[in-house]
Structure 1
Amino acid sequence: MTLRHEAFLGHVKERGEYRTPEEAERAARVVLALLGAHLVGAVRAQLAAHLPEEFALILLNPLQSAEPLPPERFVRAAAAWIEGATEKTATWDVGAVLSTVADTVGDDLLEQILLQLPAGYDLLFGRPQPI
């Protein structure tokens, strides 16, 4: 299922408790660009197919990452890219965007996404995995 741009941003805005759609959009752009740098191949393409076109393009043309960042460094990187963000607010931003992604893609694709990421990302997606 592909969410329309407004619907996707609406979910992010609600979860992130942003005052404006622009704040939600800024968080979504940064988090998806960082996420795209961590995913490869069919998994990245399948995720992009579930996203509104504008966000799919961001995911498919990601920032370059030399290595997959552990969750804490992913949040720190997001904080560095989101204007005025702190590590605490960036954790909130990442959670708002990635939990919306998790709801959009469903459990099977989310499991494939998590397999490509370092341990601990399940919490960022709001889907803690049993140990």
Structure 2
Amino acid sequence: MVLRHESFLENVQERGEYATRQEADHAARVVLALLGAHLVGQVRAELAARLPEAFALILLNPLQAAEPLTPERFVRATAAWIEGATEHTALWDVSAVLSTAADTAGDDLTARILLQLPPGYAPLFGHPRHT
């Protein structure tokens, strides 16, 4: 099931407690671009197919990661791309977006996404541990 653009952003905005839809949109674009650089093949394609088109395109056309980022470095990279963000606020941004993406993806696809990422990402997706 593909989540509508407004529904996806509404979920991100609520989870991230953003004052505006634009803040939620910016966080979603940054986090999904970074995530897309870490996913490959069918897993990335399946997640993109479940996201609203604008976000699917960002996920499918990422900058290429030179190396997989640990969760901590992923959060730091997010902070670097969001003006005024700190590591603490970026952690909030990452969790708001990735937990919404996980809900959209479903448990099976989320488990396959986590297998492509370094250990420690499960809590960012709203999952207590790596499955």
TM bracket, shorter-chain basis: over 0.9
Which consecutive residues of structure 2, in runs of 5 or more, have no partner in the other structure? none
- What per-residue deviation string (whole Å, max 9, x for no partner) do you get for residues 55-106 of structure 1? 0000000122111100000000000001111100000000000000011110
Normalised to the residue count of structure 2, the TM-score between the two structures is 0.98
Q: Give the distance between the partners of 2:116 and 2:130, measured in 1 at CA.
A: 17
SS of equivalent residue, structure 2 residue 92: helix
Contact 2:34 / 2:63 at 8 angstroms: preserved in 1?
A: yes
Deviation per residue, 1:36-60 (Å, 9 max, x gap): 0000000000000000000000000
Q: 5+ residue gaps in structure 1?
A: none
Q: For this pair of structures, how many residues does the alignment match?
A: 131
Letter of the 1:129 counterpart: R
Kindly report structure 1 stretches of 4+ aligned residues shifted beyond 2 Å: none
Equivalent residue letter for 1:49:
A
Q: Which residue of 2 aligns with 1:34?
A: 34
- For residues 82 and 38 of structure 1, what CA distance do their matches in structure 2 show? 19
CA distance in 2, matches of 1:105, 1:65: 22
Aligned CA RMSD, in angstroms, stands at: 1.0
Q: Residue 54 of structure 1 aligns to which amino acid in structure 2?
A: A
CA distance in 2, matches of 1:40, 1:13: 27
Aligned twin of 2:3:
3
Change (3 A) 1:130 1:60: closer
